Amino acid sequence: MPALSSHRKTRSRTGIRAGSPAVGLTTAAIASVTLLSSQSAYAAPRDPKPSVEEVQKKVDDLYRQAGSATEQYNKAKESTDKQRKTVDQVLDQVAARADKVNEARRALGMFATAQYREGAVSGTAALMFSDSPQQFFEQSQLMSRVTDRQQAAVSDFQDQQTAAAEKRAEATKQLATLTASQTSLRTSKVQVQQKLGAARTLLSKLTKEEKARLAALERKKEDEARRKAEAKAKAEARARAEAAKAAKKPAATGSGTGSGTGSTGSSAGSSGGATTGYAAKAAKVLAFARSQIGKPYVWGATGPSSYDCSGLTQAAWRAAGVELPRTTYDQVNVGTRVATDDLLPGDLVFFYDDISHVGIYIGDGMMIHAPKPGANVREESIYYMPIYGSVRPA
Q: Which residues are tagged catalytic?
A: 309, 357, 369
Displacement of CA 156 from its chain's centroid (Å): 46
Distance CA 59, CA 76 (A): 25
Give Cα 102 distance to the centre of its chain. 43
Q: What angle do CA 285, 279, 295 make, to 5 degrees?
A: 15
Q: Element (H or E) spanning 112, and its range?
A: helix 52-117
DSSP for residue 25: H
Nearest CA-CA partner of 348 in 361, 339, 338, 364: 361
Strand arrangement, sheet containing 336-338: 336-338, 387-392, 348-351, 357-363, 366-369, 378-381
Instruction: Provide the H-helix boundaries in 205-342.
Output: 208-248, 258-291, 309-318, 328-331
d(CA 213, CA 216): 5
